[in-house]
């Protein structure tokens, strides 16, 4: 992890990123209690980890990353996202937006507010997404780019 990402992640945790990760973990736990909610619980757990350390990572569509369509990226993933949106997505997104507004009031909070807005969008439609490093996402978008060694 680059030094700037490490510093931003530490500041993120200190200034409240930890409680949003706990909210994602709470959602994962509630879904895991029901056997039917296990696919959503797995996605929520992965996003909880991303919410805890968002800098230096990004979210991409899983089928674009792997090159293969799977259960979460097809029609069943769409239905899963609609169910997620109705039961969990809107209130987690609302919590991220509220936190972003509070952080945007301060100048130092602007990068954190922007991260919360990205997480709010992810909270609305998370199924079929995967967390990757920024470098992996860059390589995915520009596969023929020359890399310096």
Range(s) of the domain holding residue 90 = 3-141
The predicted structure's pLDDT at residue 143: 55
* Residue 146 placed within a domain: no
Does this model's pTM top 0.85? no
Asked if residue 120 lies in contact with residue 100, where contact means CB atoms within 8 angstroms, the answer is yes
C-beta separation of 54 from 12 below 8 A: yes
147 occurs within a structural domain: no
Contact by Cβ (8 Å): 133, 56? yes
In a domain, 149, yes or no: no
Residue pLDDT, tens place only, 106-140: 888 898 999 999 999 999 999 888 899 888 888 77
Burial category of 52 from C-beta neighbours within 10 Å (exposed 0-12, middle 13-18, buried 19 and up)? middle
As a whole number, the mean pLDDT across the chain is 87
Count: domains in the chain: 1
In this prediction, residue 149 has a pLDDT band, given cuts at 50, 70 and 90, of very low
Inside any domain, residue 34 = yes
User: Does residue 9 sit within a domain?
Assistant: yes
The conformational region for residue 82 under phi > 0 = left, psi -120 to 50 = alpha, else beta, is alpha
């Amino acid at each position: 992890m680059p030094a700037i990402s490490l510093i931003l992640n530490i500041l993120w945790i200190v200034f409240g990123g930890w409680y949003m990760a706990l909210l994602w973990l709470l959602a994962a736990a509630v879904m895991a209690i029901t056997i039917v909610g296990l696919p959503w619980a797995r996605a929520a757990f992965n996003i909880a980890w991303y919410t805890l350390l968002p800098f230096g990572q990004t979210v991409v569509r899983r089928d674009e990353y792997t090159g293969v369509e799977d259960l979460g990226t097809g029609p069943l993933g769409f239905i899963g996202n609609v169910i997620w949106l109705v039961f969990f997505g809107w209130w987690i997104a609302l919590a991220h937006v509220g936190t972003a507004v509070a952080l945007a009031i301060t100048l130092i909070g602007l990068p954190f507010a922007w991260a919360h807005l990205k997480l709010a969008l992810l909270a609305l439609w998370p199924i079929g997404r995967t967390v990757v490093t920024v470098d992996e996402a860059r390589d995915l978008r520009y596969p023929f780019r020359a890399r310096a060694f």
